[in-house]
Structure 1
Amino acid sequence: MSDQQVDQAKRTWLIASGCAGAVGGLATAVPFVSTFTPSERAKAAGASVEVDISALKPGEKITVEWRGKPVWVVRRTPEQLEALKALSAEMADPDSVRTAYPTPEYARNTPRSIKPEYLVVIGICTHLGCSPSDKFQAGPQPSLPDDWKGGFLCPCHGSTFDLAGRVFKNKPAPDNLEVPPHMYLSDTSILIGEDKKA
């Protein structure tokens, strides 16, 4: 055997094993790297949600899911809107200026909304994450004051919120219900998750 034949055999072996290693490494890397991209389900969970509010009557609420959280859209009656003005003195943060849950600029008003008639909030209590119950009916009720004007009651620890999602003073919840970014696409459609046009 000559030196030339031995070197050629080694060279062929090195090239073949190098190619096989590269193909094997690539075959292993592709599935590994693809795990870093979000699944279609994850993309959908974080995407904006369009809500049709055309069938929502005054005094009613609908719930949609956005980013795994319940988002409430409440259509308030003129009486409920009028009652909000009288409640400001009883609220812990009537102007939504606390920064734990930053309120969009367009919702820093008494009704906490773009259009006063519609309230859009995340339906999770800011105390420990329970979901408050609807208590839209005004008047005395169990676990509520006799002069109740309507709103939400957290069943876990008794925090109460008015129909603008503002928390009453001296309650366990530290902040108002969170207002998600949203905008109106039309008079009957809201896009939750984006507020570029607001």
Structure 2
Amino acid sequence: MRPPDPRTVRSRDTALASARELLIERGLAGLTHGTVAAHSGISRATLYRLWPEPADLVRATLTWHITLARPEPTGDLRADLRTALAGTRAMLHEPASEQGMRVMIERAAVDPKLAEVKEALYRAGTQVARAILADAVARAELPAELDIDLALDQLHGPLFFRRLVANRTFDLDYVHDIVDAFLRCHSTEPTHRQGIS
């Protein structure tokens, strides 16, 4: 398999950097091939070649935005879960990404293309937490029968409900409480069950 053309990689990265800036400044409504072309200096033809549909551009931009904020797990279950959920908290409190999530959830219900984007973003956004949980199961820090999809719901669900449904802000103490409550229920480590750092 041939490596990607460096010029294409540079164009893609330049365009995504501009698209991310536009996302932060203007939200999803400002994220179009035309605005990205004007902002980045990359031609529309190149942008359409890279992302033929508007939904493709949205997915690439939001996925890149998530990837830039993605932490590297350390092997410390509590610390890694706290860091992963702190990233989710940050995105829920950043105006552009919060607005993007709200718009995506609303439009995905009626737009199959955006429904695919929403599913891809869910996979990207939970990839690190899923790996943290799977690794902890492999280390026997969490039970072998743990339902990882349910665990992700238990960890992320309260954050999304509080911010997107209840319209309330929350701090890192709330994130830590969610992680500690989860570990008290599921951890095989006595210190985690007792909530001791």
Common fold by TM > 0.5: no
Q: Give me the TM-score of the superposition, normalised by structure 1.
A: 0.23
Q: Which has the larger radius of gyration?
A: 1
Higher helix share: 2
